[in-house]
Amino acid sequence: MLVSARKHWEALTKVPRQVSTLPDPQIGLQHFTVGSPQPFSGYETSDFYYTGFGVSQDIPGPGKLRLRAEQARQEAEAAQHAFEVQQRQVVEQVRETYFNLFYLKKTLAVLLETQGDLQSIERNVEAQYHVGMVQQQDVLKAQITLTQFLDEIEMHHQSVDQSQATLKAIIGREQDSPAIAIANLTPTEFSLDDRRLRQLGLSKSPTLKQAEAMEEASQTALALAKRDYIPDFTVGYSYEKTGVKFKDYYMLTLGAKVPLYFWRKQTPAVEQSALESESARADASSKRLSVMADLQNRAIALRTTQRVLKLYSEGLVPQAEATRSSALAAYRVNKVDFQTLLSAVTDVLRVKQEYYRTLADHEIAVAKIREIIGEQS
């Protein structure tokens, strides 16, 4: 897709020079005989005989070539921005897939850690059951919980493998290539205020630049349609060789294509261009509102995830881990029941899982904002 968009843009850059060049001249040959269709009839006897060579050149009305070149340049610029939009969308898609893969990998690691805790708990519960310290239902509950975690672990393995396959496809790797390494993430610092974000969005968004270029091209097309009320011209010159006894002829011709049927051609063309210009203007306005709304939503999501990350890292995660450690110690001396212990262990998993989900969402929001404002880093 990116290759196609780039080649389309590069192809359109070749158009302005073509449309700003005069039409190809016409070269003509005339052979005028007298008294017979045979060649050279009347060559020595009639002053009407001649063999002529001529050239003519069509000349568009004033300003038409310049407007055509300007319209082609604006369409090429729109194609360039369309390519940039697709390019940044691919980059953002890579980042989003990568961050989701980070979340899955981290969640899988926490699941495996929790599985180890549950296996240890299961052995402890069975030992206590054999000496009559706990009921059989605690053993069964431990076994059921462990089995549920095994199923969840397998599902996460599947999700990790599928995300790896998607990421390889996006960046152009073969599926049998080594797995893509996923590094640890730290929250990206991104502190632009809303006003600055809107300024960057309006000035640098490839989506808006594409819409604005198409709006300008439609306005140029309207100006060009109005210029079609002006006639195009033709200039010609010919040399006519007569017989040896007569003088040669020289002829200069000037012609004009008069827009005689303007109410059926030029006027509807202007009306069409005016409507298309209004459509392009409305489309640009709609995209501007959409981009600003998307940017604002991503900024809100970014600020929210920043607050939630701080809440998890400084409060919920340490508290959940401390509660688990306390519950494990208390259960060994029969100060808490099995359900309390199980809840403390699974709470650590869920809290860490939410932390990594929030971290991934934070990085996705940053990536999306950068894609909107046209930043790659």
Q: Residue 333 sits in a domain of what CATH number?
A: 1.20.1600.10
- The answer to the question of residue 141 being in a domain is yes
- The answer to the question of residue 340 being in a domain is yes
Closest by Cα among 355, 358, 353 to 302: 358
Predicted confidence pLDDT, tens digits, the chain (377 residues): 678 888 888 898 999 999 999 999 999 988 888 877 777 777 777 777 778 899 999 999 999 999 999 999 999 999 998 888 888 888 888 888 999 999 999 888 888 888 777 777 777 766 666 666 656 666 677 777 777 778 888 888 888 888 889 888 888 888 888 888 888 888 888 777 778 888 888 888 888 888 999 999 999 999 999 999 999 999 999 998 888 788 888 999 999 998 988 889 989 999 999 999 999 999 999 999 998 998 888 888 888 998 999 898 888 888 888 888 888 777 777 777 777 777 888 888 889 889 999 999 999 988 888 888 866 55
The helix or strand, by DSSP H or E, that contains position 28, with its residue range, turns out to be strand 26-32
Integer angstrom CA distances of residue 39 from 31, 32, 35, 36, 52: 8, 9, 11, 8, 13
Q: What are phi and psi of 114, to 5 degrees?
A: -65, -35
Question: Residue 232 in contact with residue 59, Cβ under 8 Å?
Answer: yes
Cβ neighbours of residue 295 closer than 8 Å, sequence gap 6 or more: 197, 198, 201, 369, 372, 373
| pLDDT of the residue at 117 | 75
- The answer to the question of residue 68 being in a domain is yes
| pLDDT of the residue at 329 | 79
| pLDDT of the residue at 5 | 85
Instruction: Render the burial of 316-338: b for 16+ CB within 10 Å, e for the rest.
Output: bbeebeebbeebbeebeeeebeb
Question: Residue 54 in contact with residue 30, Cβ under 8 Å?
Answer: yes
- The answer to the question of residue 221 being in a domain is yes
In the block, tokens 């006519």 appear at 240
| pLDDT of the residue at 125 | 67
Question: Residue 270 in contact with residue 295, Cβ under 8 Å?
Answer: no
- The answer to the question of residue 147 being in a domain is yes
Closest by Cα among 191, 154, 170 to 302: 191
Q: Which two tokens stand for residue 219?
A: 């306005």
- The answer to the question of residue 252 being in a domain is no
Question: Residue 50 in contact with residue 30, Cβ under 8 Å?
Answer: yes
Residue 6: exposure state from Cβ atoms within 10 A (0-12, 13-18, ≥19): middle
- The answer to the question of residue 53 being in a domain is no
Question: Residue 125 in contact with residue 146, Cβ under 8 Å?
Answer: no
Q: How many domains in the chain?
A: 1
**Backbone CA torsion sign across 191, 360, 91, 82:** negative
Domain hosting residue 313, numbered range: 2-22+60-228+265-373
- The answer to the question of residue 48 being in a domain is no
Closest by Cα among 204, 196, 368, 373 to 298: 368
